[in-house]
Amino acid sequence: MKEVNTTVQSFKESIFATMSALAAKNEAINLGQGFPDFDGPLWIRDLARNSFDGKNQYAPAMGVRPLRSSISNYYKSFYGLDFDIDSQITVTNGATEAIFSTCLALINPGDEVIVLEPFYDSYLAAIKLAGGIPVPVTLKAPEFSFDLKELEKAFGPKTKMIFFNSPHNPTGKVFSKEEMQSISRLVIKHDTYLVSDEVYEFLTFDGLKHLPIATLEGMRDRVITISSGGKTFGLTGWKIGWITASEKLSHAIRMVHQFNTFSVCTPLQYAVAEALSKLDSYVPEFVKQYGELRDFFIEGIVEKGFKPIKSEGTYFVLVPTPNGITDIDYCSELIKTKKVASIPLSPFYSKSNEGENYIRFCFAKKKETLAKALMNLS
Ligand code: PMP
Ligand code: GLN
């Protein structure tokens, strides 16, 4: 029989699924895959329950209007960015579908797409399936910044776009305005697009504020900004994501989205619409809750002798592997001997082997889960 798609043949199961399955098999505490082990707020789940009456048929492909309206309102009030409700905001099945639809909508076979590694795994798959050629640029540990000359060299006549993610999974880094300005200058100089994955936009700590790269001069119409209610409301299984972009780019993305999933779960869109209208009171509580979990876990692992990299945002923290042990071996040792699951970093890289030197813990877990994990890690 004939083979399946050759690009797909090169794909492996996502490291998040693999590690969650290993955690279950070994009865280990799962600090691997990024999801809270508690439900998002009851008031948001109640909103969903209430919208299960009368809101059960297909939503418009672009998303229900109240949700697009709430998205437009928060971009305006938090960041001063104006996006037209009808032509510049699209609701997707999580950020994952947003990434995928964006790649299929923008990339022609042979186009080059710059990815800063370590990168979230779906970027590479989406680029390759669209026929694009990923051009990796390695962020330098332990600050995880880029070498500007190296980044500049990665841009060329075939560059279509660059992926950018801040707050950054897996490092927990929040990129500075200066770093974003350097990237923006290159994007403008080379007339390319930038996909900005901002799913952790509300998870920044120590008083740091998220700055969407679309706010920088000359970037508004070059940036495709992607976010997700899954992270912001601790409801990763809801898969309600969204894209803000210029009318031209939004139109192209919608043309893919309509033939990919067509539309997104209707009642949950209404619940997220309402939840987003309450961000002013919700976000400070949310940051406080996750910030306390971060401090508790990081102080705990420091006491156990680990030397974590500073986590400025997201719900992840990196820990270097002991000398001579690679990330994969270290993760499997921790699962088997300490009953704690984490994520090795090498699957987030395609060029450098720097990932062998780190593992990632997720601290979006109940305090008692983190306390148990800390006891095991003794
Ligand atoms: N981008 C990043 C950086 C992520 O960490 C994740 C998922 N955790 C996604 C995208 C996908 O988000 P969603 O679950 O909304 O598809
Ligand atoms: N984004 C999550 C993480 O980084 C995983 C999401 C998934 O499993 N697709 O752990």
**In this predicted model, what pLDDT tens digit does every residue of 302-335 receive, in sequence order?**
999 999 999 999 999 999 999 999 999 999 999 9
pLDDT score recorded for residue 58: 98
Q: What is the pLDDT of residues 108-157, one digit of tens each?
A: 999 999 999 999 999 999 999 999 999 999 999 999 999 999 999 999 99
Cα(203)–Cα(327) distance, integer angstroms: 26
| 236 C-beta closer than 6 A to ligand 1 | yes
pLDDT score recorded for residue 162: 98
Pocket-testing residue among 199, 238, 268, ligand 1, by greatest number of atoms within 8 A of Cβ: 199
CA of 2 to the centre of ligand 1 (A): 34
CA of 36 to the centre of ligand 1 (A): 13
Domain 6-40+281-376: give its CATH architecture. Alpha-Beta Complex (3.90)
Nearest CA to ligand 2 atom 8: 16
CA of 3 to the centre of ligand 1 (A): 30
DSSP one-letter string for 165-207: ESSPTTT-----HHHHHHHHHHHHHTT-EEEEE-TTTT-B-TT
pLDDT score recorded for residue 9: 96
Residue 76, token pair as written in the block? 């305006």
CA of 278 to the centre of ligand 1 (A): 22
pLDDT score recorded for residue 24: 95
Candidates 221, 326, 260; CA nearest to 103 is 260
Sequence ranges of the domains in the chain:
6-40+281-376, 42-279
Which ligand gives the minimal distance to the CA of 200? 1
Nearest CA to ligand 2 atom 2: 34
Which ligand gives the minimal distance to the CA of 94? 1
Q: What is the pLDDT of residues 249-286, one digit of tens each?
A: 999 999 999 999 999 999 999 999 999 999 999 999 99
Given pLDDT bands bounded at 50, 70 and 90, which one contains residue 161? very high
- 318 forms beta bridges with 360
Candidates 279, 242, 272; CA nearest to 44 is 272
| 95 C-beta closer than 6 A to ligand 1 | yes
Fold of 42-279: Aspartate Aminotransferase; domain 2 (3.40.640)
Q: What is the pLDDT of residues 51-85, one digit of tens each?
A: 999 999 999 999 999 999 999 999 999 999 999 99
Contact by Cβ (8 Å): 196, 216: no
Nearest CA to ligand 2 atom 7: 16
CA of 115 to the centre of ligand 2 (A): 18
CA of 99 to the centre of ligand 1 (A): 9
Candidates 247, 220, 218, 99; CA nearest to 165 is 99
CA of 232 to the centre of ligand 1 (A): 11
Statement: the pTM of the whole predicted model exceeds 0.85: yes
pLDDT mean over 25-43: 97
| 192 C-beta closer than 6 A to ligand 1 | no
| 165 C-beta closer than 6 A to ligand 1 | yes
Candidates 339, 296, 340, 332; CA nearest to 315 is 296
DSSP 248: H
Q: Ligand 2 atom closest to Cα of 169? A: 4
| 93 C-beta closer than 6 A to ligand 1 | no
Q: What is the pLDDT of residues 179-231, one digit of tens each?
A: 999 999 999 999 999 999 999 999 999 999 999 999 999 999 999 999 999 99
Which ligand gives the minimal distance to the CA of 32? 2
| 120 C-beta closer than 6 A to ligand 1 | yes
